[in-house]
Amino acid sequence: MSALVLAEHDGGKLNPATLATVTAAAAVGGPVHILVAGGDDASAAADEAAKVAGVEKVLLASDAAYARQLAENVAPLVAGLMDGYEAFFAPATTTGKNIAPRVAAMLDVMQLSDIIGVEGPKTFTRPIYAGNAIATVESSDAKLVITVRATAFDKAAAEGGSASVEAVSGPGDAGLSTFVGLDATESERPELTSAGIIVSGGRALKDSATFEATITPLADKLGAAIGASRAAVDAGYVPNDYQVGQTGKIVAPELYIAIGISGAIQHLAGMKDSKVIVAINKDPDAPIFQVADLGLVADLFDAVPELTGKL
């Protein structure tokens, strides 16, 4: 079964979620091609994609209409290419989640969202009910359209492949939407979904300044990314893209330190696949302790600075 993978890239750099998506696509069997759609910087990402192990061919669609990944423009490009493929895979990032269903509807296919396992050529597992249940689902459609939870699959090797790069074109600007701007969160830190260590804070951090003063030194010490619970984001302590949880980011780092987070099911759904979970909370009954490998019942304003000092 030949599969087309939509590359996620930024400024000519391939997002690691693309590599996990390649692994999922390869598990279905058959050749894997990557589509890099973008503006002028897309060719650098295409060169990077060509080196990914196991990729047979890279399709490069370079057009100003694709520079901002507008779904109205990218979906017709993908749908037009799908004559040659039996499956389309996109990472379940906000970009993939925006584009893939539009492709699915154009192909009259029922999409499989956020898969976490490949059981057979048309059979997949995916979480439902905020991760409280795992469904095994089989498609009867002629083609597959799938989004992939990147943390559930190993990343394909970024080096070792030598795919050819072929230029393709699509209908271009659909004339429905325009990009106005991106208010990007500036950070020197590792990106949440690919970080090895994450320090996350909850509502107990009181306010934005306290969150910063408490969480940041520990994250700096560990070279960690910073996350937050929905409560902390809703309260305005940190920007929206810090949110870990079912409706925020799904993460699975080597070490996840939850500070002042009670552990609502929606939060647990976003981080319970982390390798080691540490929880610091003054409430001994907080649900976060039910999933933590190491729990410390303490006032975080004492414990966190002490931990930062002793690491």
Partner 1 sequence: MKILVPVKRVIDYNLKPRVRSDGTGVDLSNIKMSMNPFDEIAVEEAIRLAEAGKADEVVVVSIGPAKAQETLRTGMAMGADRAILVETDDEVEPLAVAKILKAVVAEENPGMVIMGKQAIDDDSNQTGQMLAALLGWAQGTFASKVELDSDAVTVTREVDGGLETVKLGLPAIVTTDLRLNEPRFAKLPNIMKAKKKPLDVKSPSDYRVDITPRLKTLKVVEPPVREAGEIVPDVDTLVAKLKAMGAV
Residues 159-198 that bind partner 1 (CB under 8 A): 175-185, 193, 197
| 82 in contact with partner 1 (CB under 8 A) | no
Burial 158-189 (b: 16+ CB within 10 A, else e): beebebeeeebebeeebeeeeeeeeeeeeeeb
Say which residues have a Cβ less than 8 Å from residue 182's Cβ, sequence separation at least 6: none
**289 contributes a contact to partner 1 by CB under 8 A:** yes
**What pairing do the DSSP bridges indicate for beta strands 3-6 and 32-38?**
parallel
Q: Give the Cα separation of 63 and 37 in Å (integer).
A: 8
- Burial environment of residue 247 by CB neighbours within 10 A (0 to 12, 13 to 18, 19 or more): exposed
Binders of partner 1: how many residues, by CB under 8 A? 88
Q: What's the sign of the alpha-carbon dihedral 70, 72, 75, 80?
A: negative
C-beta of 206 vs 272, nearer to partner 1: 272
255-259 and 225-228: which strand pairing?
unpaired
Q: Output the smallest distance, CB 136 to partner 1, in A.
A: 4
Rounded to the nearest angstrom, the gap between the alpha carbon of residue 298 and the centroid of all alpha carbons in its chain is 32
Q: In this structure, how many other beta carbons lie within 10 angstroms of the beta carbon of residue 235?
A: 17
Give the Cα separation of 226 and 198 in Å (integer): 6
Scanning 39-47, 49-57, 88-96, 161-169 for contacts with partner 1 by CB under 8 A, the matching segment is 88-96
Q: Closest approach of Cβ 309 to partner 1, in Å?
A: 9
Which neighbouring-strand residues pair with 57? 33, 164
Selected binder of partner 1 within 5, 71, 259, 300 (CB under 8 A): 71
- Restricted to residues 269-288, the positions that interact with partner 1 (CB under 8 A) are 272, 275-278, 284
Spatial distance between the Cα atoms of 269 and 271, rounded to a whole number of angstroms: 6
User: In the set 14, 26, 81, 109, which binds partner 1 (CB under 8 A)?
Assistant: 109
Q: Name the one range near partner 1 by CB under 8 A: 50-58, 80-88, 130-138, 158-166.
A: 130-138
Q: Is 123 in the site for partner 1 (CB under 8 A)?
A: yes
Q: For partner 1, which is the closer residue by CB, 23 or 93?
A: 93
297 binds partner 1, rule: CB under 8 A: yes
Cβ-based nearer residue to partner 1, 84 or 239: 239
Pick the stretch among 50-58, 89-97, 163-171, 208-216 that binds partner 1 (CB under 8 A).
Answer: 89-97
Q: List the interface residues with partner 1, window 14-53 (CB under 8 A).
A: none
Residue selected from 127, 161, 201, 227 as contacting partner 1 according to rule CB under 8 A: 127
Which of the residues 216 through 255 are near partner 1 (CB under 8 A)? 222, 230, 233-234, 239-241, 246-247, 249, 254-255
